[in-house]
Amino acid sequence: MINPFKKTYSPSEQKKFTFLGKVNFFADLTFDEMSQFLPAIHQRKYVQDEVVFFRNDPSQALYILEKGEVTLNIDIRTDFETIIKINEGEPFGENSLLENSKRIYTAIVSTEEAVLWVIPNYAILDIFHSNQKVKAKMMSSLATFYDRRNQQLFSSYKKSYGFFNLGQMFE
């Protein structure tokens, strides 16, 4: 039996949900839960070598790469070292899911053009404030994301034979 009161979504909205649903932070959300983000999402085009944000900037938005490539870099003295390349469909700037956080790396467009979905931090926090279930699901995804990153960090440290002092991480 079809529920006549169930909200229906346009093909355009369903296409956005399909894209968002592939992003780990949104994968556990229902269409109704994802729909809360739609009014806040906007697309922005960037050109090669354009900086999306710098390390230590306030974390003002979550980004999802629709087209192109972005590198996440750490600055060492006067140079940048790429720590990861973000590919199409992947998010970055994940600490924007947290209040009052700052960027820990610099994001730079590495292809001729990149198209990003931008979700402002204030909109994310407003949704979290009004919907604790959405917040819980996304915070759980963020915890899993950070757990994987910690595992990668420790694995990398073991392979590097201790060329850096991991104990500094816990000071």
Spell out the domains of the chain, with CATH numbers in brackets: 12-159 (2.60.120.10)
Does position 52 have pLDDT exceeding 80, yes or no? yes
> 130 by DSSP, 3-state: which?
helix
Beta-bridge partners for 79: 76
What value, to the nearest 5°, has the Cα angle with vertex 52 and ends 118 and 48?
115
The DSSP element (H or E) to which 157 belongs, if any, is helix 132-159
More confident residue, 29 or 80: 29
Structure confidence at residue 2 (pLDDT)? 56
Pairing of strands 113-120, 79-86: unpaired
Contact, 52 vs 117, CB < 8 A? no
Q: Render pLDDT for 107-140 as a digit per residue (tens, 0 to 9).
A: 999 999 999 999 999 999 999 999 999 999 999 9
Compute the mean pLDDT over every residue in the chain, rounded to the nearest whole number. 89
Structure confidence at residue 144 (pLDDT)? 92
